[in-house]
């Protein structure tokens, strides 16, 4: 089983982790390390996700066998706290497929990483280049008309404006983007962090949002993109991490598995050298299709996954 051949040696390939803050060096390709947690019948998966600052979807993807286990069983949980880095620019970088925000402070040479919620189906978070237009402390929420109309159809009447306070879902700290109806703000429903649960905004755990708010300045660049497959290589190995594509990109639900395979395979091959002779290696494609969200290491010259010798 793929879990048994996990990257114990991958720790050597990553930088040391202090919470979700990492010393930054140009050319870095990964951050973090794998963690494990012994689950007992008294534990909650959502509480574990919050404790380790990973999204609930990411935790479930990394442990696909969970649904087949008896409810009252104890088992080792893999915590997906190692990441191949997408291409990062100074400022805020948000990978929608990964549900993760990276803030690169290139002046202080520090990289911060946070799980985030993004727009639910039908309310997709936009991709593109933006900037922080306004930092807002204890903001008013001017509710977009589109949200008020949608909620009215569900029998919920919303005011046009909600003042700061306990009833305001934006919390105490928010960042308004240059596309002004989109914000980065708190998600008070902690179990929803890491899910597609917003009306298009980006939302974080409360402590993470407070930290990010104090780190950034107005006009900080914000890069929002969708990269379901991340690949790095060295002279001997290829490292691959994949995430399930956003549903908006799956155009044929009658053949959903084939559509997902096509999306992920193309995303993988687009990152490879033109003359690559391992672009169609079955074991690499098979691993990509698992979409467990954890990097795996493959030997370029062999036909099997490289295992740790430690």
Residues 6 or more apart whose CB falls under 8 angstroms from that of 51 comprise none
Does the annotation count 9 as an active-site position?
no
**Token pair in block for residue 16:** 């040391």
- Rounded to 5°, the CA angle 185-171-228 comes to 25
276 CB burial (10 A radius; 0-12, 13-18, 19+): middle
User: Could you tell me which of 248, 274, 273 has the C-alpha nearest to residue 260?
Assistant: 248
- Of these residues, 201, 223, 243, 304, which one is catalytic? 201
Does the annotation count 304 as an active-site position?
no
- Of these residues, 185, 214, 223, 243, which one is catalytic? 185
Beta bridge partners of residue 161, listed in sequence order? 142
Provide the phi-psi class of 37: left if phi over 0, else alpha when psi is between -120 and 50, else beta: beta
Burial track 224-251 (b if 16+ CB lie within 10 A, e otherwise): bebbbbbbbbeeeebbbbbbbbbeeebe
Q: Are strands 118-119 and 196-198 parallel, antiparallel or unpaired?
A: parallel
Q: Are strands 229-233 and 237-242 parallel, antiparallel or unpaired?
A: antiparallel
DSSP codes joined into one string, 220-271: -EEEEE--SEEEEE-SSEEEEEE-PPPGGG---GGGHHHHHHHHHHHHHHTT
**Token pair in block for residue 32:** 């973090």
Catalytic residues: 185, 201
């Amino acid at each position: 089983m793929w879990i048994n051949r996990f990257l114990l040696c991958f720790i050597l390939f990553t930088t040391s982790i202090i919470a979700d803050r990492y010393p930054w060096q140009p050319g870095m390709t990964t951050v973090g390390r794998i963690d494990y947690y012994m689950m007992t019948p008294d534990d909650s998966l959502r509480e574990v996700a919050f404790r380790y600052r990973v999204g609930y979807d990411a935790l479930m993807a990394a442990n696909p066998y969970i649904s087949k286990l008896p409810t009252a069983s104890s088992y080792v949980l893999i915590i997906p706290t190692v990441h191949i880095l997408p291409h990062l620019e100074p400022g805020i970088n948000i990978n929608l497929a990964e549900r993760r925000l990276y803030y690169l402070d290139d002046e202080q040479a520090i990289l911060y990483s946070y799980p985030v919620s993004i727009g639910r189906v039908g309310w997709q978070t936009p991709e593109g280049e933006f900037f922080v237009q306004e930092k807002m402390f204890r903001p008013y929420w001017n509710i977009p008309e589109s949200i008020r109309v949608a909620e009215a159809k569900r029998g919920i009447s919303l005011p046009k404006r909600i003042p700061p306070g306990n009833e305001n879902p934006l919390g105490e700290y928010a960042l308004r983007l240059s596309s002004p109806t989109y914000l980065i703000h708190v998600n008070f429903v902690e179990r929803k962090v890491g899910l597609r649960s917003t009306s298009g905004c980006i939302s974080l755990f409360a402590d993470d949002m407070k930290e990010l708010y104090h780190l950034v300045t107005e006009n900080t660049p914000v890069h929002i993109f969708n990269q379901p497959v991340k690949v790095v290589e060295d002279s001997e190995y290829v490292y691959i991490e994949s995430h399930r594509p956003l549903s908006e990109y799956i155009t044929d639900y009658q053949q959903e598995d084939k559509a997902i395979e096509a999306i992920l395979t193309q995303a993988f091959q687009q990152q490879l050298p033109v003359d690559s002779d391992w672009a169609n290696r079955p074991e690499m494609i098979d691993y990509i299709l698992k979409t467990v969200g954890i990097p795996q290491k493959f030997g370029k010259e062999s036909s099997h996954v490289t295992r740790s010798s430690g």
